[in-house]
Structure 1
Amino acid sequence: MKIHREGHTLLFVLLIVLTVINGLVNYFFPGEDTLSKVVLLVSILFYLIILQFFRVPYVNTPQDPNLVYAPADGKVVVIEETEETEYFQGKRKQVSIFMSPINVHVNKSPVTGQVKYFKYHPGKYLVAWHPKSSTENERTTMVIETAQKTELLLRQVAGALAKRIKWYVKEGDLLPQGGEFGFIKFGSRVDIYLPLDAEITVDLQQKTKGGRTVIAKLNQ
């Protein structure tokens, strides 16, 4: 377990702010032991809550070109056949994973492959489960092509709380299966668009673990 680099500055500043707050309480309310203990306890709990947002557990993803792993920790909220209009211009199977504030926020590549397409879209901040969030919210779109020439599209979608999408890839990059490609601060959702002949191996409302839960099998 480690702390993600996206949280280093925030956690350092927050530690200083909470230390100052506790120091001011002790200075202006000397002898108020109960108040000091309550403020200290609240500060510790709040810091631990923010700290867990940025945790990164160690994950050893088994490499298998026929498997598609979950790109994020969370819960499956969409499994459907849909029209993908940005890149494929055709029907695909969509699986969407909702990341709550208590989930790990790292996004991992579901397959090994090359980034063939990447684009950032500014947009709204509708709640992540809103039907239009995939096309109207702030988001990124990434297409990965496997060695077998199968293309998968992944979309990071911001939500009402998550207004900081981070990505660490560009077109032409090679991604290993389970490799980190992005981070969404304070949760949201990740959509993955699969070929129509892919076999979905998860159910609605099922919990997933990024780089560990197999969400589909490819017919390659």
Structure 2
Amino acid sequence: MPMLLGQVPRENIASRIYRSVKTELMTGRLRPGETITLRSLTEELGVSQTPVREALLQLASEKVLTVSPGRSLSVPVLTEAQLTELRDIRLELECLATRRAVPGVDAAARRRLAAIHEGLAAARRAEDREGVLRGNLDFHFTLYAASGMPHLVAMIENLWVQTAAYLSFLYVPPFPSLPGPHPHSGVLEALEKNDAAAAVRHVRRDILDHGELLMASLRRGGLI
């Protein structure tokens, strides 16, 4: 699948490749079990093998990619138990990030979050999977950045990137939806009121309810 990287500047090229592969995973462009070879990525990006190898080995060390026979790397295939474990860890960390973020979300940040959610809603109506996943990513990490806890945010990102490839199986037309208002709407309302407890409840619902939709979709497809 073509990468989104385009022409990569020479400076910090390994870190740019690293970030780009992570973005591919977090927006559903790479699927579980899909192979990424050093040769194919090198040819696609038009760069030398050294920075590509550095980026891929870093991702493998973080369990974002797994080393396959023949030294190629692939997107991990997870069991139901592993997906559940990662979801449960996400719940703890993301609720903490939300609670710490609420006091730091000013009016400008609220407007930014509202605009992101409007874009996500438009992508849902258009059944644009990548737009939905990118909007969801932007919403959550814009919120969590306000926590002022960069190490916590990095831990959350690592959990997301390990499971996000599975979301490509959830957002297949017709897109599923939760009953009632989207949890992000509840988060925005809670931020207006500076109500950290309410914001945490809505983030928790977002993770749990969308997680149940995902697991049901994976079971129907025989993927777990």
More helix by share: 2
Same fold (TM over 0.5): no
TM-score range, shorter chain: under 0.3
TM-score, L = length of structure 1: 0.25
Structure showing greater radius of gyration is 1
